[in-house]
Chain A
Amino acid sequence: MTNEAKNDSLLKVKDLSVSFATDEGEVQALDAVDFEVKLGQTLGLVGESGCGKSVTALSVMRLLPRPMGKINGGSIHFEGKDLLKLTPDEMRQVRGNEIGMIFQEPMNALNPVRSIGDQISESFLLHQDITRKQAWLKSIEMLDEVGIPVPESRVFEYPHQLSGGMRQRIVIAIALACKPKLIIADEPTTALDVTVQSQILDLLQSLKEKLGSSVLLITHDLGVIAETCDEVCVMYAGRMVERAPVKELFAHPMHAYTRGLLSSIPRLDGIPKTELSTIDGMVPSLSELNSGCRFAPRSGLEHSKEQIEKRPGFIEINPEHWVEACPVCLSI
């Protein structure tokens, strides 16, 4: 790869803003979000529901629901080209081919009336110049790769004949069929049991290493983040509040929201029956956001009028450790 030497970033998202038209007027789902995925890296996006994790993933894939969703500004550079400037045809060549996506609910991501062999073949037929027969054989190979036993006969089956974990393996097989350079996994294990979750995470890790791809992993589970990611972005109400390498983030969370999130999860090694620390209130609705520090109402810390109205900067406070610099929420 030629651009590897110059720049090791594969996906660079800059100042991305997305809004949705709703009954209550336009709401801002993403407010100038910045991040990058480096080559061979797993980047985790973590946050609560409504913070904009999935919207980020859909924007990168240019799959925002139309006409409600609109990208208002910013750029998404993938291998040097701006995805937002591509024509729909050009984008179709990227989707599934260079960027693969794994969805949360495998039953919804698969077509119930087509055999799984058909569905995996589809990605080959769309992006590669091969015959149906070859695509079918490659699908069988792909099934073997994602650990489906007896792929030669499974390939004829339909999604309803498989268990949840197997279905997610099929979704992974479809996403990885064309050996994408970037894999976007949107809550890939949320619908699964812990035991199956660990199987799927292991599979994702080994395939990622084999293909040399990068992964953008979206999850709300900090345990999953700790076990799989190299770097983490914490999102809150449409903004990035903190970004750091995983060990750094768990050892020195600097933003009040990150600290609140980390301390409110019950842990297997915690002391049972003690009061869990909580974050007051609830995730704010996107239609009633203030322009300054958005965590202010829940932080339990006194914010001045200016801090609530003026947006704090996103600064690199330590090498590689970025944080939204609201002077009240930030503590070093």
Chain B
Amino acid sequence: MTAGEKILEIEDLRVHFPVRGGIFRRAVGACKAVDGVTLCLKRGQTLGLVGESGCGKSTLAKSVVKLIEPTSGTIRFGNKEVIAGEAETNFRKSVQMVFQDPAESLNSRMTVGTIIGEPLDIHQVGDPKERRHRVLQLLEQVGLPENAIKRYPFEFSGGQRQRIGIARALALNPELIVLDEPVSALDVSVQSQVLNLLMDLQAELGLTYLLIAHDLAVVKHVSDMIAVMYLGKVVEMGPMQEIYENPAHAYTKALISAVPVPDPTLKRDRILIPGDVPSPINPPKGCAFGSRMNSPKYEQSIGRELKVKQLSEGRWVLDCPCCVDP
């Protein structure tokens, strides 16, 4: 296990949900939530996944942890394809998830000790005494008091509840944690505490993160790599700093310019994107972003297979005549 080795490879992943209609509720169409995503995560890194709501970020995350079965494509974890059987049990131990809203993702009728210990029970790790010891250790690791073990989630604030969620994800010593908007439900002053905790844990345990967030500033702060998603496709991917300083895709440019900067002396030229993300059920024929921007070159993209253009090592963009300068 060395740093820099590929831990997760997603190849041409598609998740299509059937759209049913008619008297027999037959599938009359498909909602292409994730449509041909290829990604690769290296051990010890954080990959930030950004995009607007409805672009397929959360669907992608759920299919990575196998909560949703993908329609096609492969997910390889640690060089092994994840299929049913023993490989899957191992996979489930090594990949954990932290959810967006800690109030909803923790069972309010369970004590914190039971919540954090549940993954240990399911995978039958050690005897009850060892499990309890492990839970206490986890509480300390995420900065919660020991007496939390007997208390219920409602007794804690939002930031502390998210810590409980993180402790639960850490219970089985995972290698990869999928963080689905881990701080968006938190207050600013608490958000930074949780982000610091996540960064500390990563340094300490050598974790790999797949971070989904809509707040670009958060993503930029903690990520090594970033992937920008638009309507089920990753349009650009590469090292964070490079993408931030020199975005290649028109959507990335617009997204970065839309983030409000907490500095009133700065006056920037904002690129305004009109309208909303188009529906993935009935996407535009050509480039989805070109049609939203009314790009003059949109016609050229119709009927054309969009290809990936390698810009440099680990950095690529979905090459489309209306969004990427040649």
Contact = CB atoms under 8 A, between A and B. Distances in A.
Contacts of B160: 282
A197 B157 CA distance: 28
B223 A282 contact: no
A49 B262 contact: no
Interface in B229-258: 240-241, 244, 254-256, 258
Residue from B187, B240, B265, B274 having most chain A Cβ neighbours under 10 A: B187
Given A223-B260, A227-B260, A273-B222, A163 B189 contact: no
A246 interface: yes
Interface string A230-253: 000000000000000011001100
Contacts of B192: 264-266, 276-279
A266 B218 contact: yes
Given A195-B258, A199-B274, A226-B263, A268 B188 contact: no
Contact of A269 (B193, B196, B218, B261): B261
B191 to A, nearest CB: 7
Contact of A265 (B52, B53, B217, B276): B217
A261 B188 contact: yes
A262 B217 contact: no
B214 interface: yes
A86 B215 CA distance: 43
Interface residues of B, number: 44
Contact of A166 (B187, B241, B265, B276): B276
Contacts of A163: 276
A262 B192 CA distance: 11
A165 B188 contact: no
Interface size, A (range): 35 or more
Contacts of B148: none
Contacts of A270: 217, 220-221
A194 interface: yes
Nearest to B185: A49
A267 B262 contact: yes
A279 B157 CA distance: 15
Residue from A260, A266, A272 having most chain B Cβ neighbours under 10 A: A266
B206 to A, nearest CB: 15
Contacts, number: 138
A166 B221 CA distance: 31
B259 A223 contact: yes
Nearest to A162: B276
A280 to B, nearest CB: 8
A222 interface: yes
Residue from B53, B254, B276 having most chain A Cβ neighbours under 10 A: B276
Interface string B286-324: 000000000000000000000000000000000000000
B205 interface: no
A193 interface: yes
Contacts of B190: 48, 282-283
A268 B191 contact: no
Nearest to A201: B260
Given A194-B214, A276-B195, A268 B189 contact: no
A275 B199 contact: yes
Interface string A160-196: 0001111000000000000000000000000001111
Interface string B256-279: 101111111110001011101000
A198 B160 CA distance: 32
A74 to B, nearest CB: 27
18 contacts: A165-B276, A193-B214, A195-B255, A195-B273, A196-B52, A198-B272, A227-B260, A250-B263, A250-B264, A261-B189, A265-B217, A266-B221, A268-B220, A277-B192, A279-B189, A279-B192, A282-B187, A283-B189
Interface of B: 52-53, 157, 159-160, 187-193, 195-196, 199, 214-218, 220-223, 240-241, 244, 254-256, 258-266, 270, 272-274, 276
Interface of A: 48-49, 163-166, 193-199, 201-202, 220-227, 246-247, 250-251, 260-262, 264-270, 272-279, 282-283
Closest CB pairs A-B (n = 4): A223-B260, A266-B221, A279-B189, A276-B192
